[in-house]
Chains A and B, each alone.
Chain A
Amino acid sequence: MGIASYINDIKHTVASTFEGMSITFSHLVRKPMTIQYPDKIPVPIQETLPHRYRGILEVDLDICTGCLACERICPITCITIGIEMDKETKQRQFTAFDIDVCKCMYCGLCSEVCPTGAIRHSQEFEGASYNPAGLVRHFAPQPQNLYKPKKGGETEPKLIAKVEIGGKYLAEFATPDGGVEAEKE
């Protein structure tokens, strides 16, 4: 090992250490990027998430038509829907709409195939529970009639807002004739 390479080694070590130390010092004086969740933030994180965010599933049973498309397409069979004919009113009713949140993959396939947007991903992500039973969400606590979509748009005032929300959620997905989305400025 010649004298020149020996001195070069020392010079390179000192120079690169100096450079590295200047970079870490510059970070010391910059603002850190930590968000001190959950208490030292101005707005709850849920409100800052984008509309497309695939959080925990929620179902608006008032506009669910009971088509079972979501149950069929779920790749991990986490949705269980029970529909029965009510003897007196001759109407079909939901007896159960259970989603096993710990099985759910958050893939979004069920919300894509829903015709009204009743099942959709919310912005909720805090789903911890003290026992596994708490992780199964029951969306039909009592029997409820199926929704029948009216031709020519919804007329009942309570349901108009819900149908709109569902429609807005469905509009996020790309569609084969979705040139509109791309043209929108």
Chain B
Amino acid sequence: MSQAAQAETGFYTEDMTISVGPQHPSTHGVLRFVVKTDGEVISEAIPDVGYLHRSIEKIGEKVTYHGYVPYTDRADYLAAMFANQAFCMAAEKLAGTEVTRRGEFCRVIACELNRIASHLISVGTFGQDIGAMTPFVHALRERETINNLMEEICGARLTYNYIRIGGVGYDILPETCTRILEFLDHFEPIVEEFNRLLSGNKIFHERLAGVAVISKEDAFSYNLVGPNLRGSGVKWDIRRDMPYSVYPELDFEVPIGMAEIGQLGDSYDRFWVRIREMRESVKILRQCLRMMPKGPAIAKVPRKFRPPAGECYARVEAPRGDMGFYVVSDGSEYPYRVRIRTGSYTAMAIIDKLSKGIMVADLIALIGSLDVDAPEIDR
């Protein structure tokens, strides 16, 4: 009860302090929120991060450039390719290496497959937080097929170490390209079925329409990126606005939130942007598989990689937004400093603001719709 109401009626109540996490079935990873509630209504939700800190940035100062690429996989294990790519782009910019054309296409193929996999987990776990357990398992089933494809391409299912400095580690064989096409043909109707099961459900709409609305101004001021930003109506995508790799040659749309149900920038918009991004990734993959040139997949890069002294920032459009690697080199074969900028870390800041006055169930929906990911937050 509010202070005024308490004073008026003489009925004194106390706010309840609950700790959501760090062991909780639906904070994505190990996260903790200290939540003060008045019954069901939250008055304050303060995030408490750091449970998954593994000093990845510090490790960057102790290993060589080639040896650091597997560590970048772990910075966000659901979107490992993007971290690989960002770091390799930064190292290549420092040394002035040019990536081969076939290598660029292989990179885009691997990244877009990984984007689909990451978004599948994101929408699946989001559905599970809301209570629908079946679409989660269906999403995981599709992701299994993507994992099998990645296994064929690079030998690993989660931490790929595929994108190396100068190109990619393994070439994509024609059989694998055929299988990727088969998968895409199989996958597009599955997304539609997923939509019929979950996205069209009335209870799902009721839970998400108008919940945790992020306005454009808030999104800018809190520095949100990726689908969180696009869900509020801002058309900003690194692949389109600060293009890298071969994205300028590819034709794809950038989906933004359109307030189909509820307000612009609510949880449903962010969820729907992710579903549409999966469809766009399928389009990109088809184009890449058609346009892939022949040639070497990796450029010549010395084993003792020693870029000249300098600093460099490279950013890619990861599934959770803009992932940036800031690498400072002092001319030796170990980086001087590696700094990782991730989208989930900045998204934590807005949770406290949005959670005033919503219910506990909505807090879970909010965290799921922002698609925060503990390894990205704590690195």
Contact = CB atoms under 8 A, between A and B. Distances in A.
B162 to A, nearest CB: 9
B68 to A, nearest CB: 7
A155 B203 CA distance: 73
Contact of B295 (A16, A109, A179, A185): A179
B297 A16 contact: no
A113 B151 CA distance: 21
Given A16-B202, A20-B201, A24-B134, A75 B71 contact: yes
Interface string B294-321: 1111111001000000000000000000
Given A13-B203, A108-B169, A121-B155, A23 B197 contact: yes
Interface string B148-180: 000111111001010000111111011000000
Nearest to A172: B170
B64 interface: yes
A23 B198 CA distance: 10
Given A24-B134, A52-B155, A75-B70, A179 B169 contact: no
Given A73-B67, A75-B68, A108-B169, A176 B152 contact: no
Nearest to B158: A106
B102 interface: yes
B174 A174 contact: no
Nearest to B70: A107
Interface in B101-160: 102-103, 134, 138, 141, 144, 151-156, 159
B330 interface: no
A109 B70 contact: yes
B202 A109 contact: no
B246 interface: no
A86 interface: no
B242 interface: no
A176 B155 contact: no
Given A23-B196, A50-B151, A109-B70, A178 B298 contact: yes
Interface in A132-185: 172-179, 181-185
A86 to B, nearest CB: 30
A174 B71 contact: no
Contacts of A172: 170
Contacts of B200: 16, 19
B174 A185 contact: yes
Interface residues of A, number: 40
A151 to B, nearest CB: 23
A107 B294 contact: no
B193 interface: yes
A8 to B, nearest CB: 10
Contacts of A54: 155-156
Nearest to A52: B155
User: Interface residues of B toward A: which range?
Assistant: 35 or more
B63 interface: yes
B66 interface: yes
B70 A174 contact: no
A12 B202 contact: yes
Interface in A6-65: 9, 12-13, 16-17, 19-20, 23-24, 27, 33, 49-50, 52-54
Contacts of B138: 27
Contacts of B159: 105-107
A96 interface: no
A178 to B, nearest CB: 5
Given A24-B134, A181-B173, A175 B298 contact: yes
A68 interface: no
A176 B161 contact: no
B68 A106 contact: no
A106 B74 CA distance: 12
A178 B197 contact: no
Contacts of B156: 53-54, 106, 108
A176 B294 contact: no
A53 B149 CA distance: 11
Contacts of B102: 182
Contacts of A53: 151, 155-156
7 contacts: A9-B202, A33-B141, A33-B144, A50-B152, A108-B156, A172-B170, A176-B296
Interface of A: 9, 12-13, 16-17, 19-20, 23-24, 27, 33, 49-50, 52-54, 73-75, 105-109, 112-113, 121, 172-179, 181-185
The 9 A-B residue pairs with the shortest CB-CB distance in the complex, in nearest-first order: A75-B67, A107-B70, A174-B297, A52-B155, A176-B300, A54-B155, A13-B202, A107-B161, A182-B294
